Structure 1
Amino acid sequence: MNDNGNRKLVLIVYDILSDKPTPDDPELTCTSADNRTEISQARDALKEGGFEVRTLGLRSVNSKVLAKIEEINPDVIFNLCESLYNESRNEMNVAGLFDLLKIPCTGSSPLALGIALNKRKVKQILRAAGLPVPSSVLAILNQPFSLSELEGPYIIKPVREDGSVGISSKSVVNTKEEVEERIKFIHENYRQPALVEEFIPGRELNVSIIGAAEPQVLAIGEIDFSKMPKGEFHIVSYKAKW
């Protein structure tokens, strides 16, 4: 697509983040410094691989952004954009834009991104496939919910986030009052429903699978909780992950 001989041009696209702390819970803040490190590492690795590299940060998508992408004319987009307009659910729309522009893009398809971001949908799919998942209830703003079919302790998460966003040491609670307080926090700060699940103690494994017709399981990683403070629930909070 570009005119640089045999060197392929890769455009790294990322979302521009704010360093402003999340209200009432600064440990959940995702900073621009985190993003800069990731972008720098990706750029260096691609250059070492012989690619020409450009970068483009997104705050929004408009005619100027589209014109800039057309001007750069990349062979492929290395997609590091995980939100837009401060909404994680727009991650799939950014990938959809690249799809409409017919530019090859790293990562999952827009549909896969949209499904994976919704914890409730993912668990419904897993349950339909015969895999055990913890019992849960979705707490929607200004709608009643019941814990009658759940057993505590409970873990409360934003339903449409990933990367442990919205999860901290305050996310695991025992009483109905604590559940309601955490649900209110998620409604106010993340503007989305809260997923209330039975907390399942035990080992935590990371298993990546690539491919469709012939899926391949990559190396399995396990979270080491041995240095967690005594008495704290073993969870991977945003602070611990990042």
Structure 2
Amino acid sequence: MSRPLSELHVAVLMGGLSSEREVSLSSGRECAKALDGQVARVTAIDAGRDLAQVLAELRPDVVLNALHGEWGEDGCVQGILETLQIPYTHSGVLTSALTMDKDKTKAVLNAAGVAVPGGGLFDRRAVSAGHVIPPPYVIKPNAEGSSVGVYLVREGEAPRPEPGSEAWTYGEQVMVEPYIAGKELCVTVLGEPTGPRALTVTDITPVKGFYDYEAKYAPGGSVHKLPADLPAPVFEAALRESERAHTALGCRGVSRSDFRYDDVKDVLVLLEVNTQPGMTPTSLVPEQAAYVGMSYRDLVRWMVEDASCPR
């Protein structure tokens, strides 16, 4: 931003319309709190379908987008912000739309030379009727985050009934990928002017055995070890692959890459890239930032200062 941060009116978007609403509210509240005293004015907005009107009347200098999931993270809100010509944090319209589609994201990453899991998209009812790939495998919505609607099917288990039920609201096709045994890893990337900078690698161990929604956000749901205890070449590969993914997908601002590392077969695979990672008290991005000497307030300040809007 060209103006000093202390002169800015920053609107923090949170809540929204997706299944990740509660996570977004937590992220937004923490970001708004961190900005207090750093900027001239902070306005927290629980974003609804009248968002364009609210922003047009409010006229903030910058928007910190703490929305997660559909509508807030998939390019729709980004389009509103570009129409209103308000600088905003995180990735732009095209990247946001792309990365919310897991299947298309995998295609781009694969073309860029980043190792991704196999599997593919299948009709949700077919997934519940029988094993579409040999177990063990993971079922996940093609366009959701925060491990919403994610299920692990182990060897010897029957197909999961949830995707085929009438209660399923995550689309007619679901992503099914081979389960990769080993370590759950993540890397935060900051998109700096000199190029993307990966911070460190975290090894995540869920308390109950699978890194689902509860393990991510419930206090004590998982144990984070950073830096991860990995062979040096694997650690370095995770850093470089996350930077390569950030660039290939056209990300800006903060992104987070999630990996699985099979330490028996020595295979590192990138599962997905999150363009608007969580900023809750248990989130991985602020934890990694703190490890490299960047406080939560510093991280949020950096995000606002990095905000932009195509002209």
Distance 1:89 1:45 in 2: 21
Report SS of the residue matched to 2:195. coil
CA deviation string 1:110-132 (max 9, x = no partner): 21111111111121122222233
Alpha-carbon contact 1:156-1:182 (below 8 Å) kept: no
Task: Give the Å deviation of 1:200.
Answer: 0.5
Secondary structure of 2:169's counterpart equals helix
Q: Provide the residue aligned with 1:237 in structure 2.
A: 212
Structure 2 vs 1, CA of residues 174 and 137 (structure 1 numbering), >3 Å: closer, same or farther? farther
In 2, are the aligned partners of 1:154 and 1:199 still within 8 Å (CA)?
Answer: yes
Contact 2:11/2:63, CA 8 A, preserved across alignment: yes
State the match for 1:217 in structure 2: 198
- SS of aligned partner of 2:121: strand
How many positions carry a matched residue from both structures?
A: 211
Which structure has the highest strand share of the two?
A: 2
Q: 2:170: which partner in 1? A: 190
Q: Among residues 39, 59, 66, which one is paired with 1:73 in the alignment?
A: 59
TM-score between the two structures when normalised by the length of structure 1: 0.73
Specify which of 58, 71, 81 is matched with residue 47 of structure 2. 58
TM-score (norm 2): 0.59
Change (3 A) 1:131 1:110: same
Q: What's 1:140 paired with?
A: 123
Residues 10 and 64 of structure 2 are in contact (CA less than 8 Å); yes or no, is this contact kept in structure 1? yes
Query: 1:188-221: per-residue Cα shift (whole Å, max 9, x none)?
Result: 2323411111100101110122337622111221
Percent identity between the two aligned chains: 26
Displacement, 1:182? 4.1
> RMSD value over aligned CA atoms?
3.1
- Runs of 5+ in structure 2 lacking a partner? 1-5, 218-311
Q: Which amino acid aligns with 1:208?
A: T
> Residues 75-127 of structure 1: CA distance to partner in whole angstroms, max 9, x if unpaired?
001112235xxx45873111111012110001111211111111111211222
Q: Which runs of 5+ in 1 are unaligned?
A: 1-5, 19-28, 229-233
SS in 2 for 1:204: strand
Aligned to 1:12: 12
Deviation of the 1:166 alpha carbon: 1.2
- Decide whether aligned partners of structure 1 residues 186 and 199 sit closer, same or farther in structure 2, where only a CA change above 3 A counts: farther
Structure number with greater CO (CA < 8 Å, separation at least 6) is 2
Summarize the alignment of residues 64-103 of structure 1 with structure 2, pairs less than 5 Å apart. Answer: 65-83=51-69, 87-88=70-71, 91-103=74-86
